Structure 1
Amino acid sequence: MPSSSKLPHVGTTIFTVMSKLASDSKAINLSQGFPGFGCDPVLLDLVNHYMRAGFNQYAPMGGVPLLRERIAEKTKLVYGVDLNSESEVTVVSGATEALYAAVTAVVKQDDEVILLDPAYDSYAPAVELSGGIPVFVPLEMPDFSVNWERVKSAISDKTRLIMVNTPHNPSGYVWTRQDLDTLADLIQDTNILIVSDEVYEHITFDGRVHHSLLTHPALRERTFICGSFGKTFHVTGWKIGYCIAPPKLTEEFRKIHQFLTFSTATPLQYALADYLSDAGRYLTLPHFYQKKRDLFCDGLKNTPFQFTPAQGSFFQMVSYAHLSDESDYGLSVRLTKEIGVASIPISVFFSDGSDRKILRFCFAKDNSELHLALDRLLKVKL
């Protein structure tokens, strides 16, 4: 029978499109944001241990208690914030689920949700599926910092939620403490809630500190923090993340979570709980990824692209606006087919499809693969 689409303007994501094109073209895939190397064998051994030990049935809906305790311990160590692991931490099947469940838990018909533009592509659909209205506030070019006056102007009596992301995808911009203070001042006399996408929390460069919204008391009491073990431990295919929120918000969050996935893979949770006992496994990530960012940026200096090294995340943006009027989508497809390097056109992150002549490359790959990609990028003709 005929039916109308709930998301008539949404098609297959660019990440699926470009990864398929990369595979079909036998290109180096620097498009979709997943590491091109394996995780620590110790983590794999732990998963095998728990599978064989019989930990293969449903986990508790909120997550394995030991893993939630380890997340609380990590939060205390990194951010100096005490959490109640039972009432403030929920394990989910990927950060995208956390984002969706948080939005669905609090957004009602005709509520307005402020999105900082460009934004990750799952934000707006989550808002729309709850009957909410996305209100896009453009970030400042060229560094993609927040224009707080624009945010202030966008707030209305219908604003229910603001969605933020630091380190930012696609730009890599890392929020400052002043950003947190300004946001807190803007919403202090309102009922506005926050969803904070912090999946790249451990990937910052040049001595920058990730200022989690958890560290600001006024923001913590009204924020859903969404994190990702997939990004942190190079296991994006496991789809394991978590949401940290105050008890009342967690209660509403779990009402949605229980009907989305109910629970997340049990042996993986126990393995991660064990693995988190060694803090060095995530505290060393900035150094690990900075070496890859620096390697990639050093090579980019020999190409015609212009760029500023990313402040965080594992993405590097490059501009070709000074060289060509070719569309970013067209160029990303052409480079994939002609020289064998896949990237993401960042116009897909903008609500209006704005083409700034910028491509995004993922440098979370083996060094040999990065060297090969850079050699191919030297052949770019614009």
Structure 2
Amino acid sequence: MPPGQFISNDAYLFAAQSEEITKHGKLPARDMQRWLPNGRDNGQLLSLYAYVIAYTHKVIGWLFPKLTVYHIQLYAPALCFMIGLGAVFLFLERYYGVMFACIVGVLLATLPGSISRSIAGFSDRDAWCWMLGTLAVISYLWKERLPLGRQRWLTTALAGFIVFLGGLSWEAFGVFVLIIVAIELWKFVTIDTEEHFKEYLFWLVMFVPWLYLISPVYPSGYGFSTHVTALLLFPPLTVCAVRGIRHGLLKGIVSLRQHAQKLTWGLTLIALMLGIGYFFFQAETFETTAFAFQESLLMKNISELEDPNFGFWTNWYGGVFALGSLGWIVASFQFGWWKGLPMALSLSLFTVTTFFRDPMNIWVGEATCNTLFIVSLGLTVLSFAVASVLSTVK
């Protein structure tokens, strides 16, 4: 690779931003190299990755005079990916054994999609965001296994702070937050008594107000940043709201305590309907806001924006999707054979109509496949509801 070059297009954007930050300490209000004549609003960008590269050079550059901003960005993907992978391995080794950790680590490290985006020279923010995402989820899971005390509170603070960093790094970082929200929602519907609510509030305080105050994307996002707040902040705040409402009602109205499970599911369904309603009401805006100039001939020819086909999954991720899908289907039987069978069947249908859609469209037709996909969503939600009721701790 020639000096000064990268193997990804977006890397050049972050390189230019890093150089600007190195010279002036921050990005200008507008990037006048793009979207002329008005320039692009830098306030609508989540550019922490560029700041990290620039200030890393400022911190260690005096120790290594020959080290440039380019060198740091060149090797950043490999370093970030190894840190994230190492965190996954250590967590799994501690709680599930070295063999399981090794299998997962090898699979993640050898995925063609992982290799291409974590090698030196790719230099986009993918590996950086992957590292923050894995650290955010793992630190939260680690916190859940700690006994009450100072260490648990510190780990909670760490988990929230990492989400804060991720929220300043990537518009879709809410995907990782949704994993944590799913954990909390499962706890909410399977435990009738409120536990660790202050701890959850502390986790929220570590990133929600600061993201809202620091980045204009969250209070006033527009264009491709329109739905960032809805993806990253609304789900954890909604879980906080339903937990708080249940706690207040059960504490204030004694007669409701014998109907705690019904109250829990009522609040959960309301929260889910709000999320589904937002999705359907805003569905038409997703494509036009996620990618500017969506209808232009140039954007239509960008392969990265094309809908993934079956070849994409098999070529980039191989059998890992099949193994992962098989894993969560088999995991359904932890509730017992007959109790887990409905969940396994619904997850099987969901997997087939999602990751194997191209072959399914050929076999049964696109309209039938779409119908089966919608049915699988309903059956999956219903199966999880039944499983949560069976697992409820009084």
Q: TM-score, normalised by structure 1?
A: 0.26
Larger radius of gyration: 2
Q: Decide which structure has greater strand share.
A: 1
Q: Decide which structure has greater helix share.
A: 2
Query: Which structure is richer in relative contact order (CA contacts within 8 A, separation 6 or more)?
Result: 1
